[in-house]
Amino acid sequence: MDTDLQQTAARNTPLHKRRSPILRGARALALTGMLLAGAALPTVALALKAPPTKTTTTPTKSTTTTVPGATTPTTTTTSNTKVGIRWHKPIRIERSNWGGLDSVACPSVKLCVAVDQSGQVLWSKTPAGTRHWHLVKADLGHSLTSISCPTTTFCAAVDDSGRMIWTNTPTGGRRKWSKPARIDTAEAPGGGPAGLTSISCTIATSTSVATTTTPTTTGPTPTVPPLCVATDGAPQGSVVVSTHPTGGRKAWVAAQIGSTSSLGGTLASVTCLATTFCLAAGSQHYYSTDPAGGASAWHASGGPTAGGLLASVACPAATMCVAVGYGNSSIGLSDVTAKPTGGLTDWITTAVTGTPPVIGAGLVDSVACPSTGLCIAVDSFDHAYTTTTPQTGAWVGGAAIRKDSAAQWSSISCQKTFCMVVDSAGVGTAGIVRGA
């Protein structure tokens, strides 16, 4: 494990220069708020979520959630179930001086593929019980920021320079990966590429039967997914869309959807449940039932109450989407809806972190939902939070899945019975879902 000196140095090292400038700024603002708040952090959390109130009836308990700006609190009742996750011992996937792991995708319990800040891809066929991960130098000189693997036979990844790579053989070597193609030319405010922040590919052609863990088609599984959507790090962000993602840069079309309103237009994450539905999130959420239809086909539906950045989004079904993130008034927030194609009033903002937050808690970075009855969020210091009633935004936990973590950010990917978390210290932690 890392030494105390390494942990201290990592926590005080500025965020990696290759991460999106816009997202770096949002994280820095939130971190500054945490530092300035100090002992006031519990008060900030209280503003988002009131303390739980136990009822006299067991085995259920009632939780009242109050959101700033909301007219009335939301009261929910959840039963004590055995649904949850058991975490394995963390393992080192790559060397700590390689810049850290940015993203992970697990298309099955027998394959996980991660990407790192050094442009490398790492994969394992036995992610739950082995230290053996294979290294592929796929995009050296650039930071791979996100990866999507809708099947075990296709993965696509994007980098900090607006480039994309893909493979039909995720378990292959360097020659199995395509040459990088620059699919986005957006620039950052200070010059240079804005970079791509997220990518999602889907093989599902209908939301009526699709889930993020078991995508389906009406015919044989395609070799190449019929839709991939990426988001960039420009101030007014764009989605970059392709219905033929292996066709080179000309097969991708950028559409600026980021709002110029006071809420902002930053895009940090995207998920596509099917070719007929995608949801992008950042300072706001944007949905589309025709993702390849251009900017006019994407619709803004507001952002979290009291503002903030939604760093990650998951839609386990057409009737539920969950986004998590942070702001300068909260280290962990959740925006949840049962109507993803609705408006601002169809979303509920609650706190992910407890009251007060657990000691050492970080910014909530990533979320995955093995099912509509379980979502798991992780923060930058490897704490995990769960909810068995995602529609209500009632979160519990905050336990460290890796004690004394030296990480600065993390990413999670789940299948129905399995999850994998990777972090910026190059460490991975597998989890087995119970009661799935």
Type of residue at 196: L
* Residues paired with 104 in a beta bridge: 114
CA distance 421 to 431: 8
Half-sphere exposure of 421 (CA within 13 A, CB side): 35
CA distance 109 to 13: 34
Return the pLDDT at 399.
86
Half-sphere exposure of 339 (CA within 13 A, CB side): 8
CB within 8 A of 282, min separation 6: which ones?
A: 231, 237, 258, 264, 265, 266, 267, 268, 269, 309, 310
| Tokens (6 digits) for 293 | 């239809």
Distances (CA, A) of 64 to 51, 80, 209, 219, 356: 7, 16, 33, 46, 16
Give the range of the structural domain holding residue 145, as residue numbers without chain letter: 4-11+20-434
Return the pLDDT at 81.
52
* Residues paired with 211 in a beta bridge: none
User: Exposure of 190 by Cβ count < 10 A (0-12 exposed, 13-18 middle, 19+ buried)?
Assistant: exposed
pLDDT tens for each residue of the chain, 436 residues long: 333 323 333 333 334 444 565 565 566 555 555 544 443 332 223 233 332 332 222 233 333 333 333 222 232 233 335 788 999 999 999 998 888 999 999 999 999 999 999 999 999 999 987 678 999 999 999 999 999 999 999 999 999 999 999 999 999 999 999 999 999 999 998 899 999 999 999 998 877 545 555 544 444 556 789 999 999 999 999 999 999 999 999 999 999 998 777 667 899 999 999 999 999 999 999 999 999 999 999 999 999 887 899 999 999 999 999 999 998 778 999 999 999 999 999 999 999 987 667 777 899 999 999 999 999 999 999 999 999 998 888 899 888 999 888 899 999 999 999 999 999 999 999 999 987 6
CA distance 263 to 261: 5
CA distance 111 to 154: 12
Number of domains in the chain: 1
Return the pLDDT at 263.
67
Return the pLDDT at 391.
85
| Tokens (6 digits) for 316 | 């386990």
CATH number (domain holding residue 115): 2.130.10.10
